[in-house]
Copies of this chain bind each other. A is one copy, B any other.
Amino acid sequence: MPVARGETIDPARTRARVVATLEPLLYEHGIDGIGVSALCEAAGISKETLYRHFGSKDGLVEAVLQQRSDRVLQWLHAAASGAGDDPADQLAAIFDALDGWYAEPAFRGCAIVNASTQGRGGTAPGVAEIHLDRYRDLFRAIAVRAGSRDPDLVATQLLVVVEGATVVSDQLRLPGAAAAAKDAALALLRASL
């Protein structure tokens, strides 16, 4: 089949579809764990199309990671918002959401941190920093509204707990890791008042 299938030809739409399709694949296999040819086959596009849209494999990876960071942060903000107005409840809701993620069979740790660890040099410089900073901003806002004495400190501590829980859940497959992290996060927030 030569061109667009049922849908109209639209480069932006093609690009978005490719990013959405390839995101879970790159997450599952790792950036160096899957070749460009396999990615193209999975996305149903030719290599030429991929390189016209993204310039290089690194360009594709950066686009995928950017969208993933956006999606994850939106998801956590939604989880917090849906838990009412109490900062502690919102914090608990975030860790409950993470617990569900950790339990998924496809869970492989934090995609952005994994990518940064794998691709030392070249791949997505700054994406990881921005991602973690946004995480920290989310926690800082919660700490501020909870009335913490040192919101920056608490935000860093909560970021540490989240990233640690992610790593431990991934490496050790401890089912209780998220619950322990949630307990720790609430204790740290409480201790900061």
Cα A177 to Cα B136 in complex, Å, equals 12
Interface majority SS (helix, strand, loop, mixed), chain A: helix
Complexed CA–CA distance, A191 and B29 (Å): 40
Question: Size class of A's contact patch?
Answer: 35 or more
Query: Is A160's beta carbon under 8 Å from chain B?
Result: yes
Q: Mark A105-118, 1 if CB is under 8 A from B, else 0.
A: 00011000110111
A193: Cβ under 8 A from any B Cβ: no
B172 touches A164 (CB 8 A): no
Task: Return A78 CB to nearest CB of chain B, in Å.
Answer: 23
**Is A133 part of the contact surface with B, judged by Cβ < 8 Å?**
yes
> A180 — which chain B residues lie within 8 A by C-beta?
153, 156-157, 160
When the two chains form their complex, are residues A167 and B171 in contact, meaning their CB atoms are under 8 A apart? no
Q: Tell me if A132 and B184 are in contact (CB < 8 A).
A: no
| Complex Cα–Cα for A174 and B156 (A) | 9
In the assembled complex, the Cα of A117 lies from the Cα of B183 at a distance in Å of: 27
* In the complex, per-residue mask of A34-74: 1 if CB is within 8 Å of any chain B CB, else 0: 00000000000000000000000000000000000000000
Chain A 128-166, CB-CB to B under 8 Å as 1, else 0, gives 110011000000000000000000010011011111110
Cβ of A93 under 8 Å from chain B: no
Whether A168 is near chain B, meaning CB under 8 Å from some CB there, is: yes
Q: Measured between alpha carbons, how far is A162 from B167 in the docked complex, in Å?
A: 10
Q: Provide the A83-121 mask, 1 if CB < 8 A to any CB of B, else 0.
A: 000000000000000000000000011000110111011
Further contacts, 7 of them, CB under 8 A, given A30-B118, A160-B165, A162-B164: A128-B172, A133-B172, A160-B184, A163-B164, A184-B188, A187-B187, A187-B191
